[in-house]
């Protein structure tokens, strides 16, 4: 008997589109639930946390196992609110297919466009379920037209399956297929599957999850038109989440992307073994001893894993698109010490990496970077629930980042008495949105492989701070170029110190650039108000394309700094008397429009930041002494790699010029 295919599918949506209700309807229709739970009643199968049940929103991604005749489905229900998008984005990286739920009453929303661009980035084949079609005023034809105009012309109504129009719409999305269809008049089911997998077409289904309308047809086609992936034989896995169970056991949630996963095996660089493999469905789980590629599970026994980490043969990873752009001061009760609560908050940060808990040494305060105010409320509730501490938060500020504009060599040396390490790093600017890329070009003849691995670990283990405002660095390639250890005196911690100092010294040597977050916006206002809208955007230091018209409305699209556009939605509603709409999605980071003002306001002095030193420590006559960052090149023990490269390039150029002159003189003779 042939094994059933296994598909991992995520359900995504704008908040209140009915995503969790559709998950419940799928479980019920497939025979895996006796009774449908409701989000508003607080008894949804997948809203397992008390906070979710009380608020009626999904905060954490959940797993449900659905068994059907044709396939076994792992269903991942993701958060819909924009504040919890980072949790959703991590889940995307383990999906085979996605289901995008759109409210028929609301149509395409700003967050829908963000989700669509993420699905495109991660190349995930997508089915669409247009929900709430039982509500008055919903028009299927109008909604389909909107999907085709704003998402993709490949959005096809699978309710029209079998009709000539259905096949014609599919054929229009592929030139070679169109020629074949015009000749033969047919399109095979396997070709339709292939086009879905290649993201050329996107099946659309219209219905009501709450009333189970259209759910059976949707589920039937999901089973029929999906294909199981092929995986390599060598073990690989991708981690997408860290949680803790009710007994405090640390759970690493992962997808097996190659070979098999077995209990009591070592899968990370530490010597920790997997104790249990759990397959969750809602709050319950079953344990197995072995799991094949393509499956999702949670494992116990690992203490040093992080979301986004790749294990075994699994390669790559993406810099998240949806990052926090706001930072808040955490205000603790008088009786609570920061030193006591900080380690507990680190535990929360491990589960929710997008929280970015920061201890500001200068201000002696805890700061939290998050997506928005709803996440702030949830964080308050979580801290109270987990640690019984009532915290408050100060005003939100923008999260800035820093990068460099030129290629430099950063050198870090750490040599107090009976310690020794020197690290040379090449640092190069990258395109916007690249994040920090780590590489090595250091020969093992120069530095042993184990020491090189250690340096790479230290480069990856923290957010390195810039030298303009102390903001995290981004869009930089850091390459290990050279290093030196001492046979007797080098210890593991020495390379940590040398590596951190090399990064900071390189940043001091470089021309640093301050970056700020930008929104991509779509502004719809009555035509007579477009002049006011354009003036507003210009004042915000934003840019825009030529305005379009849509009926009686003008549409303005462009980008603007988050710092200047914050709160503009209220202004739009006021001056347009409720007729205007502003959609914003994060568009990444770019050059800060008021760099000098922000640097001055931060009051940051890189040379007084004792947590992140820029200088090095050398040894003379049995005692260590500090050397300032700009004097390190005069004291370093290894020669400059960058200077050597420049010398070699100049020598090559000189040799070529001489050869050219000699050839010219021979020709003249």
Tokens standing for 280? 């969750």
Residues 391 and 383: beta-carbon distance below 8 Å: yes
Residues spanned by the domain of 577: 514-596
Q: How far out from the chain centre does Cα 657 lie?
A: 49
Model confidence over 336-354: pLDDT tens digits?
888 889 988 888 777 766 6
In a domain, 441, yes or no: yes
Best-predicted range by mean pLDDT (44-58, 83-97, 239-253): 239-253
Reported as a pLDDT band with limits 50, 70 and 90, residue 530 is: very high
* Strand partners of residue 253: 241, 298
Is the CA virtual torsion 459, 465, 471, 476 positive or negative? negative
The least confident of 55-64, 92-101, 396-405, 608-617 is 55-64
User: Which of 67 and 665 is assigned the larger pLDDT?
Assistant: 67
Residues 355 and 370: beta-carbon distance below 8 Å: yes
3-class secondary structure, 575: helix
Residues 6 or more apart whose CB falls under 8 angstroms from that of 400 comprise 469, 471, 514, 515, 516, 592, 598
* Strand partners of residue 583: 522
**Residue with structure tokens 């992962």?**
254
* Strand partners of residue 13: 101
Residues 253 and 309: beta-carbon distance below 8 Å: no
> Could you tell me what percentage of the chain is helix, strand and coil, using 3-state DSSP and rounding each to the nearest 5?
35, 30, 35
Model confidence over 407-423: pLDDT tens digits?
999 999 999 988 999 99
The least confident of 15-29, 221-235, 515-529 is 15-29
One domain, residues 65 and 209? yes
Model confidence over 151-176: pLDDT tens digits?
999 999 999 998 999 999 999 999 99
Is the CA virtual torsion 584, 586, 587, 592 positive or negative? positive
* Strand partners of residue 620: 623
In this predicted structure, what is the pLDDT of residue 35?
67
One domain, residues 12 and 108? yes
pLDDT at 83 > cutoff 60: no
Residues 40 and 56: beta-carbon distance below 8 Å: yes
Residues 6 or more apart whose CB falls under 8 angstroms from that of 492 comprise 454
DSSP assignment letter at 34: S
Structural domains in the chain (count): 5
pTM over 0.85: no
One domain, residues 633 and 489? yes
Residues 6 or more apart whose CB falls under 8 angstroms from that of 646 comprise none
In this predicted structure, what is the pLDDT of residue 647?
64
Q: CA–CA distance from 203 to each of 21, 115, 206 (Å)?
A: 20, 17, 10
Model confidence over 458-474: pLDDT tens digits?
998 888 999 999 999 99
Domain C-terminal end among 224, 258, 290: 224
pLDDT at 57 > cutoff 90: no
In this predicted structure, what is the pLDDT of residue 1?
42
Residues 153 and 173: beta-carbon distance below 8 Å: yes
What distance in Å separates the CA atoms of residue 396 and residue 438, rounded to the nearest whole number? 32
What distance in Å separates the CA atoms of residue 178 and residue 169, rounded to the nearest whole number? 10
In this predicted structure, what is the pLDDT of residue 374?
67
pLDDT at 566 > cutoff 90: no
What distance in Å separates the CA atoms of residue 161 and residue 36, rounded to the nearest whole number? 29
What distance in Å separates the CA atoms of residue 423 and residue 614, rounded to the nearest whole number? 13
One domain, residues 376 and 421? no
Query: What is the CATH classification number for the domain harbouring 453?
Result: 3.30.230.10
Model confidence over 508-529: pLDDT tens digits?
999 999 999 998 888 989 999 9
User: Which of 608 and 646 is assigned the larger pLDDT?
Assistant: 608
In a domain, 499, yes or no: yes
**Residue with structure tokens 């340096």?**
455
Query: What is the CATH classification number for the domain harbouring 567?
Result: 3.30.70.240
Reported as a pLDDT band with limits 50, 70 and 90, residue 15 is: confident
3-class secondary structure, 37: coil
In a domain, 321, yes or no: no
User: Which of 1 and 603 is assigned the larger pLDDT?
Assistant: 603
What Rg value do the Cα atoms of the chain yield, rounded?
Answer: 28
One domain, residues 165 and 50? yes
Q: Is 336 exposed, middle or buried (0-12, 13-18, 19+ CB in 10 A)?
A: middle
3-class secondary structure, 39: coil
- What number of other Cβ atoms are within 10 A of residue 648's Cβ? 10
In this predicted structure, what is the pLDDT of residue 588?
86
In this predicted structure, what is the pLDDT of residue 405?
96
Spell out the SS3 assignment of 279-313.
EEECCEEEEECEEECCCEEEEECCCCCCCCCEEEC
What distance in Å separates the CA atoms of residue 222 and residue 99, rounded to the nearest whole number? 9
pLDDT at 191 > cutoff 80: yes
pLDDT at 457 > cutoff 70: yes
What distance in Å separates the CA atoms of residue 298 and residue 282, rounded to the nearest whole number? 13
* Among the listed residues 26, 147, 4, 15, the one whose alpha carbon sits nearest the alpha carbon of residue 85: 15
Q: CA–CA distance from 524 to each of 145, 555, 576 (Å)?
A: 18, 5, 10
In a domain, 293, yes or no: yes
Angle at CA of residue 360, ends 358 and 365, nearest 5°: 95
What distance in Å separates the CA atoms of residue 302 and residue 269, rounded to the nearest whole number? 11
One domain, residues 483 and 627? yes
In this predicted structure, what is the pLDDT of residue 47?
45
In a domain, 91, yes or no: yes
**Residue with structure tokens 């184990």?**
450
One domain, residues 29 and 143? yes
The mean of the pLDDT values for the chain is 85
One domain, residues 378 and 439? no
Tokens standing for 279? 């397959």
Model confidence over 261-318: pLDDT tens digits?
999 888 876 678 899 999 988 878 899 999 999 999 999 998 888 877 888 888 765 5
DSSP assignment letter at 601: H
One domain, residues 83 and 122? yes
One domain, residues 372 and 406? no
Query: What is the CATH classification number for the domain harbouring 394?
Result: 3.30.70.870
Domain C-terminal end among 570, 596, 622: 596
In this predicted structure, what is the pLDDT of residue 651?
55
Residues 202 and 127: beta-carbon distance below 8 Å: yes
DSSP assignment letter at 463: P
> What average pLDDT does range 115-135 have in this prediction?
92
Domain C-terminal end among 283, 312, 341: 312
Model confidence over 582-635: pLDDT tens digits?
888 778 899 999 999 999 999 999 999 988 999 999 998 888 899 999 999 999
pLDDT at 199 > cutoff 80: yes
In a domain, 648, yes or no: no
User: Which of 45 and 131 is assigned the larger pLDDT?
Assistant: 131
Residues 148 and 155: beta-carbon distance below 8 Å: yes
In a domain, 664, yes or no: no
In this predicted structure, what is the pLDDT of residue 508?
97
One domain, residues 546 and 446? no
One domain, residues 506 and 520? no
The least confident of 75-84, 144-153, 159-168 is 75-84
Q: How far out from the chain centre does Cα 46 lie?
A: 23
In a domain, 71, yes or no: yes
What distance in Å separates the CA atoms of residue 231 and residue 623, rounded to the nearest whole number? 57
> What average pLDDT does range 63-70 have in this prediction?
84
In this predicted structure, what is the pLDDT of residue 82?
52
Tokens standing for 145? 């037209």
Best-predicted range by mean pLDDT (256-270, 312-326, 390-404, 529-543): 529-543
What distance in Å separates the CA atoms of residue 36 and residue 42, rounded to the nearest whole number? 11
């Amino acid at each position: 008997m042939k094994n059933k295919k296994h598909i991992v599918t995520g359900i995504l949506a704008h908040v209140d589109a009915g995503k969790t209700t559709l998950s419940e309807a799928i479980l019920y229709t497939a025979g895996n639930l006796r009774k449908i739970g409701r989000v508003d009643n607080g008894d949804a199968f997948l809203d397992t946390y008390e906070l979710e049940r009380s608020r009626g929103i999904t905060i954490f991604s959940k797993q449900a196992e659905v068994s059907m005749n044709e396939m076994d489905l792992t269903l991942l229900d993701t958060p819909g609110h924009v504040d919890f998008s980072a949790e959703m984005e991590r889940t995307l990286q383990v999906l085979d297919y996605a289901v995008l739920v759109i409210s028929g009453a609301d149509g395409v929303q700003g967050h829908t466009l963000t989700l669509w661009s993420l699905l495109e980035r991660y190349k995930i084949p997508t089915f669409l379920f247009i929900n709430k079609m039982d509500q008055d005023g919903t028009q299927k034809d109008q909604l389909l037209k909107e999907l085709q105009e704003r998402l993709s012309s490949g959005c096809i109504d699978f309710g029209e399956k079998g009709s000539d129009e259905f096949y014609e719409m599919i054929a229009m999305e592929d030139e070679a297929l169109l020629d074949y269809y015009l000749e033969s008049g047919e399109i095979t089911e396997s070709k339709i599957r292939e086009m879905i997998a290649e993201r050329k077409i996107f099946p659309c289904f219209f219905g009501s999850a709450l009333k189970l309308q259209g759910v059976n047809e949707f589920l039937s086609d999901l089973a029929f038109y999906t294909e199981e992936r092929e995986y390599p034989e060598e073990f690989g896995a991708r981690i997408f989440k860290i949680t803790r169970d009710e007994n405090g056991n640390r759970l690493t949630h992962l997808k097996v992307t190659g070979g098999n996963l077995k209990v009591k095996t070592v899968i990370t660089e530490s010597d920790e073994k997997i104790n249990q493999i759990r397959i969750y469905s809602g709050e319950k789980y079953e344990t197995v001893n072995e799991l094949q590629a393509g499956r999702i599970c949670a494992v116990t026994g690992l203490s040093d894993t992080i979301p986004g980490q790749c294990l075994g043969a699994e390669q790559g990873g993406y810099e998240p698109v949806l990052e926090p752009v706001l930072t808040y001061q955490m205000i603790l009760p008088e009786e609570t010490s920061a030193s006591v609560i900080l380690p507990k908050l680190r535990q929360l940060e491990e589960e929710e990496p997008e929280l970015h808990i920061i201890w500001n040494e200068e201000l002696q305060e805890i700061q939290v970077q998050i997506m928005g105010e709803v996440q702030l409320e949830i964080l308050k509730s979580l801290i109270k629930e987990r640690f019984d501490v009532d915290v408050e938060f100060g005003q939100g500020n923008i999260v800035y980042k820093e990068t460099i504009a030129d290629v430099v060599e950063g050198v870090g040396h750490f040599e107090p008495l009976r310690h020794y390490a020197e690290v040379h790093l090449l640092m190069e600017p990258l395109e916007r949105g690249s994040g920090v890329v780590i590489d090595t070009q250091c020969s093992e003849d120069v530095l042993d492989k184990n020491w090189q691995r250690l340096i790479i670990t230290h480069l990856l283990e923290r957010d390195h701070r810039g030298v303009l405002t102390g903001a995290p660095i981004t869009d930089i390639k850091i390459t290990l170029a050279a290093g030196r250890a001492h046979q007797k005196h080098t210890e593991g911690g020495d390379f940590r110190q040398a590596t951190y100092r090399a990064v900071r010294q390189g940043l001091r040597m470089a021309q640093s650039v301050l970056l700020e977050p930008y929104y991509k916006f779509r502004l719809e206002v009555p035509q007579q108000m477009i002049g006011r809208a354009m003036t507003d955007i210009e004042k915000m230091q934003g840019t825009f394309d030529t305005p379009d018209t849509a009926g009686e409305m003008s549409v303005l699209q462009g980008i603007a700094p988050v710092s200047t556009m914050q709160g503009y939605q209220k202004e739009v509603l006021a001056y347009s008397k409720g007729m205007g709409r502003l959609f914003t999605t994060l568009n990444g980071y770019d050059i800060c429009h008021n760099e000098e003002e922000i640097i001055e306001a931060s009051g940051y002095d890189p040379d007084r930041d004792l947590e992140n030193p820029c200088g090095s420590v050398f040894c003379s006559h049995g005692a260590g002494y500090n050397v300032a960052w700009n004097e390190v090149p005069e004291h370093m023990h290894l020669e400059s790699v960058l200077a050597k490269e420049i010398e070699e390039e100049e020598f090559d150029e000189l040799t070529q010029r001489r050869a050219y002159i000699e050839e010219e003189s021979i020709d003249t003779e």
